[in-house]
Amino acid sequence: MWILANSFIHISATLLGHEYSPGVVTATALYAPVGVWFLVRWGKRRQLNWKNVMASLLVGGFLVMLIPTFARAIVNHARLATVFHLVK
């Protein structure tokens, strides 16, 4: 699920920043489809339930992606664009 969280970070940074975000092409072309493929595969095998999805989103999306990103923003007093590497 962290793959989907990663793709959402890059895609949302591009949309919100109205500028290219490095990684958005990989996120759109590779991470999002592969993440959805895994979700469908696990769903068909009955390995996927809401508890697993929520735990994966929490760990993958919140702990791995959002906390380091926003911690960097606080430390560097950065704007959204600099946090997501849209500008230097």
Half-sphere exposure of 38 (CA within 13 A, CB side): 12
* Residue 77: predicted pLDDT: 63
> How far is residue 60's CA from residue 76's CA, in Å, rounded to a whole number?
23
* Residue 64: predicted pLDDT: 66
* Residue 87: predicted pLDDT: 52
Model confidence, pTM = 0.57
* Residue 88: predicted pLDDT: 56
pLDDT along the chain (88 residues), means of 10: 76 79 85 88 85 77 68 65 56
> How far is residue 48's CA from residue 57's CA, in Å, rounded to a whole number?
13
